Structure 1
């Protein structure tokens, strides 16, 4: 197997190093083994379309694939500290490139995500399966170009991916966020009290702090687009949503002091504290995806709104405190349940109506700077249904 690092570059917008590399098919397919299954919640793999059938035929003839983009976590990239990030053209020493090469070569598939190239990877695997033994040995020696983002956090990677796809006819934003969900889990896993349940775990939420990765991925989209309804079918609306998402991500990438911040990570921290404050008796409240998406959208709305930004932190601190103190009806959960049960399923989509109910109530609470209790906010939100 062959793998060679040929250069490094630095992206000043997202403050991250990118490694240019070459590998043979054998090395690449081994390092990404299982990625298709790991990313089962993202865009479906295209198996029968004519373009991908043609691609497999071209691969058998020895075509060169467009560069595949990977994100690799948990590697020793300390040698990148030898270089000035302001250099437009970094000339790395062979010794440093070898160091990065060795570090990446030791990584396992669990720390490798396919950011761009899932369909090409599947085409490679399908083509390999169609060959006889002699043909396979030749096929596996062919070269592939790689763009590898090392130890990149979820937030800047999401920004970069959405930005590069915005000028094309992209997969939906939901699919793009789902692709990055492995990095999202990595970015959130050190928050106190969180347990992230992946699709392959086949587990149910049974206690506060447990959240399915698919729920958090949807919550991130709701937070970015400031809307609790994340499924978009209208391409014009989808384009507008991506533009809004890029603006939200851009705000967080660099604040006025030149520091990165992560408003979504702050949201999840608040979510965990609220979840714990409700206790096991009300475990179903934040176990409901519609509630999580409504909260995420409302806090994303306030996060971007110039007027509400200054109220957000204080309001959420007060909400958490009030929930911890109120043992009888924390967060007005019983009031919420009564309103939710009153939604007429014949007249409304219950899921959409519930998400909108939560969104309006939490947004109202923030707008009031936490001066109105959540019971009143639920009631006011219900009056708009």
Structure 2
């Protein structure tokens, strides 16, 4: 499958410029290698009766260097010679051109359309991780997020570090791309969102006028969110030390935190995002978050009885809302975890 910027038709011929191969790249590359190997075998008048009797080592030593120049290898050449031995030179010369090949050419696709096509084509192939699929759907956000970070904000992709391990190995200022996506979706919906196949399908099927399309058209939200995360991490490290790195590096934390911020933003009918208010609350009340209690309470939960991810998200969500409503209060995490684990 090809995507092209321009396609012109002249009779039965198509002229395609500036194209990309969306699917079938490996097969196309292999067909190209086979064609070049056929041309090499015919132009050099290679005799199958002489060469197929060579040992694999001798055959490889004789041809491997030259075949590399044709992006081929000795296995392809051996198959070509076997075909010629059985069917003759004319059949070999025409074997690719005589067989029909199917090409799809798409034009006018947006970046989102390209990703959707790719996800559909991947169905039934090697599974793509859910978070990686989610990242593909929002690749257009990467430049916006990186510009907003002004060098203090590094984005890590799922293909580089898995989400589940990220909080344990992250450096200050590093954030997981999939975590940022679910955080933004949580903010927009005013409730915690988790990366799942259902979420990917839901976002993938959203039309441009649905709420998740806001991610592509409201850069100010992302600018504010990135600046907020940079300031928040610095403040939490000052107040809580190494616990800050763990807490802010978890997907469940960011999802719950931004869901709470989004819910507060929606109910307050304010035109100003509540990020500054949250930072001001923590500065005025440095002990408000009580991250040590968060960790001990979280680690004491019975994992056999609950969905730990959902419980974490909802606990952080409710705690965030509570803190925004009552800035002078200190969070008691046992209360919020008990609410969700009950």
Structure 2 counterparts to residues 1-385 of structure 1, below 5 A: 6=6, 22-23=16-17, 28-29=20-21, 121-130=22-31, 132-134=34-36, 144-147=105-108, 177-190=134-147, 191-192=149-150, 193-199=152-158, 201=160, 205-232=169-196, 239=202, 247-249=210-212, 260=218, 262-279=220-237, 280-281=241-242, 282-303=244-265, 305=266, 307-310=267-270, 313=273, 315-324=274-283, 329=287, 331-366=289-324, 368=325, 370-375=326-331, 378=333, 380-385=335-340
TM-score normalised to structure 1 length: 0.50
* Cα distance change, pair 288–143 in 1 and its aligned pair in 2 (3 A): closer
Could you tell me which residue of structure 1 aligns to residue 87 of structure 2? none
Q: How many Å apart are 1:326 and its aligned residue?
A: 5.2
TM-score normalised to structure 2 length: 0.56
d(CA) in 2 for partners of 1:231 and 1:206? 20
Q: How many Å apart are 1:136 and its aligned residue?
A: 10
Give the greater-gyration-radius structure (CA).
2
Q: How many Å apart are 1:321 and its aligned residue?
A: 2.6
Could you tell me which residue of structure 2 aligns to residue 33 of structure 1? none
Q: How many Å apart are 1:217 and its aligned residue?
A: 3.1
CA contact (8 A) 2:260 2:318 kept: yes
Q: How many Å apart are 1:218 and its aligned residue?
A: 3.3
Aligned to 2:108, what secondary structure does the other structure show? Answer: strand
d(CA) in 1 for partners of 2:208 and 2:272? 19
d(CA) in 2 for partners of 1:240 and 1:182? 13
d(CA) in 2 for partners of 1:261 and 1:126? 39
Could you tell me which residue of structure 2 aligns to residue 59 of structure 1? none
d(CA) in 1 for partners of 2:208 and 2:292? 33
CA contact (8 A) 1:252 1:261 kept: yes
d(CA) in 2 for partners of 1:364 and 1:345? 26
Q: Which has the higher contact order (CA 8 A, sep 6+)?
A: 1
* Cα distance change, pair 199–253 in 1 and its aligned pair in 2 (3 A): closer
Unaligned runs of 5+ in 1: 8-20, 30-120, 150-156, 255-259
Give aligned pairs, total.
251
1:315-348 residue CA offsets vs partner (Å, 9 max, x unmatched) = 5323213434555x36221232233133221211
Aligned to 1:343, what secondary structure does the other structure show? Answer: coil
* Cα distance change, pair 360–126 in 1 and its aligned pair in 2 (3 A): farther
1:117-138 residue CA offsets vs partner (Å, 9 max, x unmatched) = xxxx232432432451259999
CA contact (8 A) 1:196 1:210 kept: yes
Aligned to 1:28, what secondary structure does the other structure show? Answer: strand
Q: How many Å apart are 1:161 and its aligned residue?
A: 8.5
Unaligned runs of 5+ in 2: 8-14, 40-95, 124-128
Aligned to 2:23, what secondary structure does the other structure show? Answer: helix
Q: How many Å apart are 1:295 and its aligned residue?
A: 1.4
CA contact (8 A) 1:228 1:355 kept: yes
What RMSD in Å do the two structures reach over aligned CA positions? 4.6
CA contact (8 A) 2:256 2:313 kept: yes
